[in-house]
Structure 1
Amino acid sequence: MAGEHYSAFVEEAFVKPIRSVLIVDDDYPTFDEMLDAEIARNGQKEQQKAKDWYKDPARIKKVIASFRTPGRALLVDIHDGTNVSSGAEVKIAAHLHQSDLLVLDYQLDKAKPGDGSLAIEIIRSLMCNDHFNLVVVHTSEELDTVFRETLLSLMSPLAERLGPVELEQAQTLLLEGEDELEGFIERLTRSISVDQYVHARRFRDSYLRTMGKSQQPYSAFREECGKLKWESDDRKLILKYLLEQAELDLQSRFNPGPDSQIVWDDGSSKYIKTNSVFIAFSQKGNDDDLLSELLSALNAWKPRPSRLFLAKLRAEMDEYGVMAQSAVLDNQHALAHWYRRLLASEGPNRRWLIAESVARHSEQLMNGILPRVENFAARLIDAEAKTDLPEVLSKEHFGVDLMNPQERLKADYEHNAFVSSKPPEGWHLTTGHVFVVGQDYWVCVSPACDTVPTQLSATQIALFGERLPFMAVKLNPVADGKPLKDVQSNRYVFLRIAGSVKCFCFNDPVSDTSAPTWHTLYAEKKGMLTKTFSFKVLVTERGSKGLLQRKRDAQVVCQLRYEYALNLVQRLGGSLTRIGLDFV
């Protein structure tokens, strides 16, 4: 649970930006009902009062009033869920914006007591939404049951499965146990149900240790296993097997859509979070304050500071984006110049200029937004710094122990990769592109102006045709696991490749004064890249009768940020122009 100082920033980033509330609940009044009531009164007819809100309108009024307190006059819309197909409900949910709050009744079909299928379908549709949506499931049903059913319906089955050998071993152990103790398989199977499955999904790294200590929710399982002389590995295998069987029984309740990273907490402030939806749970009662309950659930989640920064950025874009946009559009002459270049360009060059123009527009737009986000971040950091040591707070928020040398080294590597490199971009080979040929990593160090296909000189085209000559330096991998004492020597680059950070050296890692390995290579099609950032390159290699040029496949896997790429260009220039002196 977030502390009071942190809770204020969670509220500012997630709750205060809410501008409208959509309530989907068949127990709430709609405009049609109120108009029908007036028509009935004028015609002196009896108004039908089938809904529960007629019995206690004060409670409904109090809920709506909670969204319209002084300083928070939210737009509240009510949708009646009765007599509406699930497809229509999904369409309603699909239009929600990230500044909206959805209050959703779990049981939308009163003809099916306890059935939350319509509500679940709406939430599933929100999981496919591009926005980050806030939802409060507001229910009169038993809250633990609603939470568990919602959770299971949003899960996807695990991809891992026991192999054939493990399956046979598990089944053999169970049959041997049944031979020794009649009814053993039935009792053991009963000890693993939904509760154990959900626990194992939530604590995938530690549930086996919990079972090994005979702790809940596996105490009944351990008690049954204790009747046999099973080793620890046998118990772990049987638990995995029974959890797999439990998952098969739950298949029909799982989400048929793509897998989403789900986190949850079933404590006093229950929540479920996917990539695009945050769901809080609230029991209907006489003192409903849904915004407070939403904030409590957000505090239980305790979003990391970095997420608060980004949430604040989204909110500021919504709130002040139009004003910032107006400032960007004032530069008429520059905008006209950029647009003329776009119109005059053709082919791949146009694609690149469009990307460049959009980036420039975005940069100017962000210049008007970022000061507000920086102010938010400064206030958060000032408040946090007063509470504990930086290392303690970092571990609390991110689960990373920076006092541990290996954790600190990994953090340093990830930081270095983030500030020095980025995913590849562009439509042609350029300075800083890191590419792989065979097993070797190379970085392009030719000046960017010399690699633009449309700007090649007539002399270059006459000499090389469709080939682009460029200089590349071979990057030497650095052994993992040790801190670099000379990391500031400007020799190293850190690249995120295939999900992990790798360190490379511009020259020989063991010799600071060694010369880099550089080649002149020739890229086919003037260095233009495919959509997957691949290209063909001619490499000079040694053959049995002399030097040969061979065509190789090359794949751009990363890109150095410009200042880091320029550093390598300068280092190569210094190496090529060094002067040897004849001192003894």
Structure 2
Amino acid sequence: MANEHYAKFIEEAFVKPIRSVLIIDDDYPTLDEMLELEIIHKNGDLPPKSDKRWHDNPGRIKSVIDGFRQPQRPLLVDIHDGANVDTKGDAKVAAHLHQSDLLVLDYELDKNRPQDGARSIEILRGLITNDHFNLVVIHTSEDLDMVYREVILGLLGATSDELTEGEQEAVNQLIVEYEDVDENALQALRAAVATDQYLHARLHASTYMRTMGQGQQPYSDFCALADEAGWDNGNRRLVLRKLLADAERPLRARMRNASTAGLKWATSGVRWVKAESVFIAFSSKADHDDLFADLQNALEAWNPAPSRLFMAKLRAEMDEYGVVAQTEALERQHALAHWYARLLRSKGDERRWLIAESVLRHSDQLLNTILRRVEVFATELISSEAVAAGDNIEARCQEHFNVDLSKAAPKKKAEREHNAFVSSKSPQGWHLTTGHVFTMNSEHWICLSPACDLVPGQGATRNADFGDRTPFMAVKLHPVPVDGNHDVNSNLYIFVTLDGEVQKFCFNSQGKEAVSPVWRTLYAERRGLLDKDFGFKISAMGAGSRKLVATIHPAQVVAQLRYEYALNLLQKLGVSMTRIGLDFV
């Protein structure tokens, strides 16, 4: 749960930027409905019979809407009654959702099917495929625990943890032996491992077995039965997997085809569900109608990390002040005219390169204005956090990131990830460039030719003898233990993330300044153009039986150094190639 001082920053990053609200509730009046009633009234006809409950208590509906239209928060409110939303979704609603910052969603949208949330869950499933980040409040008169569980199940997909035939036979034998002692053993086991235990195992997929092994909740009842049966830890694990699979089977009809990416939820206290593009809070219609308070409480219970607040604030500032920033970015008309003229005169690969450069410059100008506002927010947040943390900074970091920097192993991992983040990134671009780390013949190399020499079409006359190939300098990278005791500030080491893990490489074979790197002149086929997966081909010279022979090798760009770190290695390569040997004794 967020501290009081931190809560205001959560509100500023997530709640205050809300400008529009869409309410989907079959008890709410829509604009079309009100107009039709007025037309019927003027014609002297009787209004059609309606099962909407807002007629009984219109004051409550007005109270909810007024809550979104306060003077300090005058929001644009739209209402959809969910009448034409089926269990396969509704294209019109999906279009609305993309334009709305907050969705207030009734769980039960079909009065003919009490306690059935199929329609609302289908809307949520549509939201998670939306690139626009959505805040949702499930506003319902149903039991919140039931609604909460059904929403989670509706966003989960079935698991693939099936027991082998041998494992199934072993489990059956264990249960049969237990039933010889207690004839109700299987019934008791299934009661001990039901939906709550299943959801815990899904949320904590990598640690739930450890929790069970320690006899902790929600597996204490199961562990008591396992003790009675005399099962060892291996048997307990096997039986638990079987029971979890049994618990999932009747739930599959309410689940998605595949699990929602990044799905997390609260296990106690204030209810919330979070996916990559959706945050869901829950509110009871029986309690009160202050939905912003319920949303704020859920966000505080989620307690997003400061870095997430920075990103949310950046997104909000871009929406709010993007036009102003755009105006400032477009002030230099002469420079813009010069850039545009170059674009029009260019052709082929040169135009492609200039377009990428122009887009980068425009976005840089746009962000310069926006970032100043985000920096003010970040300064206030960090100042407040520093006062609250005092000398216990590690504990504060653990609260936000679940990383204990007071311990050696997490601290080393944090340093590795920092080094990789500040010095490298995922590969970018459409052609080979300075700092691209690539694999060739199971070895790692780095491209260290100047970037201007690698642009397809540049230096065409100079490289005419090479045909459709671009020559470039590459240095072999030597893998070293990632936790080795190396002087990383010697500027001889780089950190890159490969297959999700940080790896460390040295610029030469010994990690000493005086040792020269292994470098080669290689030739990139097709002028160094990369395919969509960052693959390309290289011609390399090698010894034949009587002469040098050019051999084509497949290569794959797997990472990229940030420009200043690539320039550092480029400079080191230049120093090595221009060194002077002296014959001192």
**TM-score relative to the length of structure 2:** 0.94
Q: Name the SS of the counterpart of 2:432 in structure 1.
A: coil
Structure 1 residues 196-275: aligned runs within 5 Å: 196-257=197-258, 259-275=260-276
Partners of 2:549 and 2:170 lie apart in 1 by: 57
Runs (4 or more) in structure 1 with deviation over 6 Å come to: none
For residue 339 of structure 1, what is the aligned residue in structure 2?
340
Does the Cα contact within 8 Å between 2:479 and 2:505 map onto a contact in 1?
yes
Q: 1:406, 1:481 within 8 Å by CA — same for their partners in 2?
A: no
CA contact (8 A) 2:349 2:456 kept: no
69-78 or 449-458, larger mean C-alpha shift: 449-458
Unaligned runs of 5+ in 1: none
- Report the CA distance between 1:349 and its aligned residue: 3.3
Residue 464 of structure 2 corresponds to 461
Query: Counterpart in 1 of 2:291?
Result: 290
Q: Aligned with 2:228: secondary structure?
A: coil
Conserved? CA contact 2:349–2:457, under 8 Å:
no
1:18 aligns with: 18
Q: Indicate the SS of the match to 2:366.
A: helix
**Percent identity over the alignment?**
54
Distance 1:64 1:441, change over 3 A: same
Q: 1:493-512, aligned counterparts within 5 Å?
A: 493-512=494-513
* Cα drift, residue 181 of structure 1: 3.8
Q: Structure 1 counterpart of 2:382, which letter?
A: I
Contact 2:89 2:122 in 1 (8 A): no
Matches of 1:208 and 1:113, distance apart in 2: 37
Give the Cα–Cα distance (whole angstroms) in 1 for the partners of residues 234 and 258 of structure 2. Answer: 34
* Letter paired with 2:158: P
User: In the aligned structure 1, how far is the partner of 2:53 from the partner of 2:188?
Assistant: 44
CA distances 1:325-348 after superposition (whole Å, capped 9, x unpaired):
112222222222322333333333
Cα-to-partner distance string for 1:328-377 (whole Å, 9 max, x where unaligned): 22222222232233333333333332222211111111111110000000
For the structure 1 residues 213 and 455, does the alpha-carbon distance in structure 2 shift closer, same or farther, using more than 3 Å as the test? Answer: closer
Pairwise CA distance, 1:318: 0.8
In 2, Cα distance between the equivalents of 1:198 and 1:16? Answer: 33
Residue aligning to 2:489 = 488
Q: For residue 478 of structure 2, what is the aligned residue in structure 1?
A: 476
- The aligned residue for residue 28 of structure 2 is 28
Supply the AA of the counterpart residue of 1:456: G
Structure-2 separation of matches of 1:20 and 1:552 = 55
Contact 1:138 1:283 in 2 (8 A): yes
Distance 2:163 2:563 in 1: 47
Moved more, 34-43 or 266-275: 34-43
AA matched with 1:555? Q
**543-552 vs 3-12, greater mean Cα deviation:** 543-552
- How much does 1:219 deviate? 2.9
> How far, CA to CA, are the matches of 2:224 and 2:352 in structure 1?
66
SS in structure 2 opposite 1:555?
strand
Whole-angstrom CA distance in 2 between matches of 1:176 and 1:526: 71
Answer yes or no: is the 8 Å Cα contact 1:59–1:286 preserved in 2.
no
**Alignment partner of 1:408 is 2:422:** no
Aligned equivalents of 2:248, 2:348: Cα separation in 1: 52
Are the structure 2 counterparts of residues 457 and 110 from structure 1 closer, same or farther at C-alpha, using a change threshold of 3 Å?
A: closer
Instruction: Report the 3-state secondary structure (helix = DSSP H, G, I; strand = E; otherwise coil) of the residue aligned with 1:469.
Output: strand
**1:301 lines up with 2:327 in the alignment:** no
Cα distance in 1 for residues equivalent to 2:564 and 2:303: 36
Residue 513 of structure 1: aligned partner: 514
Residues in 1 aligned to 2:485 and 2:299: alpha-carbon distance in whole angstroms: 38
Give the direction of change, closer, same or farther, for the CA distance of 1:42–1:457 in structure 2 (3 Å limit).
Answer: closer
Tell me what 2:375 maps to: 374
For the residues of structure 1 that align with 2:174 and 2:89, how far apart are their CA atoms? 51
Give the deviation of 1:3 after TM superposition. Answer: 0.7
Give the 3 Å change call, closer, same or farther, for CA 528–81 of structure 1 in structure 2.
closer
Comparing 214-223 with 356-365, which one deviates more in the overlay? 214-223
| Distance (whole Å) between structure 1 residues aligned to residue 469 and residue 91 of structure 2 | 54
Aligned counterparts of 2:371 and 2:358: Cα–Cα separation in 1: 20
- 2:207 and 2:472 map into 1 onto residues whose CA distance is 52
Counterparts of 1:88 and 1:213, CA distance in 2: 44
Shift of 1:114: 0.7
Give the conservation status (yes or no) of the 8 Å contact 2:158–2:259.
no
Q: 1:29 offset after TM fit, Å?
A: 2.1
The amino acid across from 1:418 in the alignment is F
Is 1:439 aligned to 2:408, yes or no?
A: no
SS in 2 for 1:261: coil
> In 1, Cα distance between the equivalents of 2:565 and 2:399?
33
Comparing 404-413 with 348-357, which one deviates more in the overlay? Answer: 348-357
Evaluate the alpha carbon distance shift between residue 467 and residue 169 of structure 1 in structure 2; reply closer, same or farther with a 3 A threshold. Answer: same
Per the TM alignment, residue 487 of structure 1 is displaced from its structure 2 partner at its CA by 1.1
CA distance in 1, matches of 2:544, 2:179: 69
Query: Judging changes above 3 Å, is the alpha-carbon distance between structure 1 residues 347 and 176 closer, same or farther for their aligned structure 2 residues?
Result: farther
Q: 1:520 to 1:31 in 2, by over 3 A?
A: closer
1:9 paired with 2:12, answer: no
Name the counterpart of 2:359: 358
Letter in structure 2 aligned against 1:30: T
Matched, 1:418 2:433: no
Taking a change above 3 Å as real, the CA distance of residues 96 and 49 of structure 1, as seen in their structure-2 partners, is closer
Give 1:50's aligned residue.
51
Between 26-35 and 425-434, the greater mean CA deviation after superposition: 26-35
Post-superposition CA distance 1:374-428 (Å, at most 9, x none): 0000000000000113322211111111222221221111111111112222222
Q: Deviation of residue 37 (structure 1)? A: 4.5
Residues 30-59 of structure 1: CA deviation (Å, up to 9, x unaligned): 234434454555566654463212222221
Q: Kindly tell me: are residues 29 and 530 of structure 1, through their superposed partners in 2, closer, same or farther at Cα, counting changes over 3 Å?
A: closer
Question: 8 Å contact 1:496–1:558 — kept in the other structure?
Answer: yes
**One-letter amino acid of the structure 2 residue matched with residue 9 of structure 1:** F
- Mark the CA change 1:287 to 1:334 in structure 2 (over 3 Å): closer, same or farther: same
In the alignment, the residues of structure 2 paired with residue 346 and residue 566 of structure 1 have an alpha-carbon distance, to the nearest angstrom, of 29
Matched-pair contact (CA < 8 Å) for 2:523–2:538:
yes
Which 10-residue stretch deviates more, 112-121 or 453-462?
A: 453-462
- Counterpart of 1:93, as a letter, is A
Range with greater deviation from structure 2 (550-559 or 257-266): 257-266
- 1:64 counterpart residue number: 65
Give 1:184 shift: 2.5
Render the CA deviation track for 1:515-536: whole Å, top value 9, x for unaligned: 1111111222222222222222
What residue identity is the alignment partner of 1:371?
R
SS in 1 for 2:229: coil
Q: C-alpha separation between the residues in 2 aligned to 1:530 and 1:491? A: 30
Distance in 1 separating the partners of 2:394 and 2:468: 55
Q: State the match for 1:132 in structure 2.
A: 133
Partner SS, residue 580 of structure 1: coil
Q: Does 1:449 align with 2:452?
A: yes
Partner of 1:171: 172
Find the aligned partners of 2:161 and 2:485 in 1 and give their Cα distance: 35
Residue 11 (structure 1) shift: 0.3
Cα shift at 1:258: 5.7
RMSD of aligned alpha carbons: 2.2
CA distance in 1 between counterparts of 2:428 and 2:204 reads: 38
